Amino acid sequence: MEDILINWSPQETRVAIVENGSVQELHIERTLERGLVGNIYSGKVARVLPGMQSAFIDIGLERAAFLHVADLHVNGSRPHHAESGTAVPIERLVFEGQALTVQVIKDPIGTKGARLSSQISIAGRMLVFLPQDNHIGISQKIGSAETREQLRARMQALVGSPEEGGGGGFILRTNAEDASDEELGADIAYLRKTWATIRERSFRSPPGTLLHQDLSLVERVLRDLTTERTGSIRIDSKMQFDVLQGFGETFMPAATEKLEHYRGERPIFDLCNIDTELDKALARRVDLKSGGYLIVDQTEAMTTIDVNTGGFVGARNFDDTIFKTNLEAAGAIARQLRLRNLGGIIIVDFIDMTREEHKNAVLSEFRKQLSRDRTKVTVGGFTQLGLVEMTRKRTRESLARMLCEPCPTCEGRGQVKTARSVCYDIMREILREARQFSPREFRVVAAANVVEMLLDEESQHLAGLSDFIGKPISLSAEPTNQTEHYDIVLL
């Protein structure tokens, strides 16, 4: 069983999913930085790019959003030429200035704008409504083929045909498996009413208008994170507890029974040392219980995870030591992916194993641990270089990108020049300036450790430079300067 802890404040909501005292997932939403995924906008085509088969759409954000032809849907499917079956070029489907109703499927990440789709989907308690589609889909997690067919038949009867005033497609979520016809019918009516409101607003709203906003993180806890494995949902705000109760009684009565208002004196996240886990999830190194460790490096293109044995020497021979470290790392990596919300391309460098059965066992354990992930994950086998390549769907910023910013000293490189390297940069800069200008004196304003090195170990070289250019060079230490930051003042 797992417990959900919700720490709410006016500026930030934090949600932790805890299993056996160990944090498995962290979700954070800030009031001023609320994510856009699921939001529906009235947009206007700002620019069509035939070479990229994409278009930039103005939806009222700081940066134009991105719509690829693969996400441009007509009558619920990607348009094709009837004769050849090839995709229709985007320039024949949209034009600059055209109004489009679009939905955000990926938040802006780094320098990239939001990604859009023109196929709208609205999530309910048990169903996802596809108003531009007509098919009935079933979650892959719902049991047998017989159960799926029975659900599809029930849904067909409830949805009705377009001639009967029905229409629209639906996807049954996992928790729809045991739902009654009344519950499914209520969800259908709610979703259709929501879509009708969105359409009405789209007809009378200018481009850039937000037509529909997805639920807040507190409400999404009931809709998306609560499962049959959830034991309790504790929240430390009485106001939000009342909001959740009202929302749950309307849409998720079963989940409402698990709701508790936490009244303890200790902060709710202190119950499981979640703030400590949060700090660990931002660190580059992750220690394993056996003595091994992981190194997690996140870049713009991909995330790399390196497994090391560290101080683990507990097995009988070297092969077993490596095997046991990799097995433990498989579970730890899956957990770190969820905790840090790492997405995109991920490369895992397990310690090299010589025995094929060890490789298969580690890969099997890794896939088993990843199967618990709510986010779509695709894993390949071991490559010729012994790496495991995988992808994890990225819809929002990772934990590190949300909570941190690049270091102002190293500007995100992770390392800075040595004081000696900066001394030589300064000398080259003085020589460059001396060839262009003829001041009375050069004054160097630099960090204390750089000035100290110029006065001590590099004093002979500095004196030689002063003699060569025929000008005095004075030094001034600036306590606020970092090692790489310096100024050369011409006096």
Q: Which of 61, 73, 67 is nearest to 33 (CA)?
A: 61
Type of residue at 454: L
Please tell me the distance from the alpha carbon of residue 130 to that of residue 321, in angstroms, as a whole number. 51
> What token pair was written down for 46?
């700002």
> What token pair was written down for 23?
């944090």
CB of 121 closer than 8 Å to CB of 128? yes
**């003085």: which residue's tokens?**
430
> What token pair was written down for 471?
């000008």
* Direct distance between the N- and C-terminal alpha carbons of the chain, in angstroms, rounded to an integer: 72
pLDDT at 335: 93
Core vs surface per residue 435-446: b (16+ CB within 10 A) or e = eeeeeeebebbb
pLDDT at 420: 94
> What token pair was written down for 90?
């985007």
Length, in residues, of the chain: 491
Q: Which of 489, 486, 400 is nearest to 450 (CA)?
A: 486
pLDDT at 240: 93
Helical segments of 5-107, H only: none
Please tell me the distance from the alpha carbon of residue 222 to that of residue 235, in angstroms, as a whole number. 12
Structural domain boundaries in the chain: 2-34+216-275, 283-403, 419-490
Strands of 342-439, DSSP E: 344-349, 377-382, 388-392
Give how far Cα 368 sits from Cα of 21, 292, 333, Å: 21, 21, 12
Please tell me the distance from the alpha carbon of residue 128 to that of residue 133, in angstroms, as a whole number. 11
Please tell me the distance from the alpha carbon of residue 114 to that of residue 66, in angstroms, as a whole number. 6
CB of 489 closer than 8 Å to CB of 443? yes
pLDDT at 461: 93
Give how far Cα 83 sits from Cα of 72, 88, 94, 220, 448, Å: 20, 11, 21, 44, 74
Regarding beta strands 285-287 and 293-298, do their DSSP bridges make them parallel or antiparallel, or are they unpaired? Answer: antiparallel
Please tell me the distance from the alpha carbon of residue 124 to that of residue 251, in angstroms, as a whole number. 8
pLDDT at 316: 66
Per-residue pLDDT of the chain (491 residues; tens, 9 = 90+): 889 999 999 999 999 999 888 899 899 988 877 888 889 999 999 999 999 999 999 998 888 999 999 888 865 555 654 444 567 888 889 999 999 999 999 888 777 889 999 999 998 878 899 988 888 888 777 767 788 888 888 888 888 765 555 678 898 887 777 778 887 887 888 888 889 889 999 998 898 999 998 888 898 888 778 877 889 999 999 999 999 998 888 777 778 889 999 998 899 999 888 988 888 888 999 999 888 899 999 888 899 999 988 765 655 677 888 889 999 999 999 999 999 999 899 999 999 988 899 999 999 999 999 988 888 889 998 998 889 999 998 777 788 888 888 888 887 778 889 999 999 999 999 999 999 998 999 999 999 999 999 999 999 999 999 999 999 999 999 988 888 999 999 98
Please tell me the distance from the alpha carbon of residue 468 to that of residue 474, in angstroms, as a whole number. 15
Which residues have C-beta within 8 Å of that of residue 426, sequence separation ≥ 6? 444, 446, 450, 454, 486, 488
Question: What's the CATH class of domain 2-34+216-275?
Answer: alpha beta
Q: Which of 437, 422, 452, 425 is nearest to 489 (CA)?
A: 437
Q: What is the DSSP letter of 286?
A: E
Torsion angle in degrees (nearest 10) through CA of 85, 169, 191, 3: -90
Instruction: State whether residue 318 is helix, strand or coil.
Output: helix
The model's pTM? 0.73
Q: Max CA-CA distance within the chain?
A: 96
Please tell me the distance from the alpha carbon of residue 460 to that of residue 462, in angstroms, as a whole number. 5
CB of 290 closer than 8 Å to CB of 312? yes
pLDDT at 397: 79
pLDDT at 358: 92
Helical segments of 46-178, H only: 145-159
> What token pair was written down for 431?
């020589």
> At the topology level of CATH, where does 419-490 sit?
Hypothetical Protein Ychn; Chain: A, (3.40.1260)
Burial class (CB in 10 A: 0-12, 13-18, 19+), 408: exposed
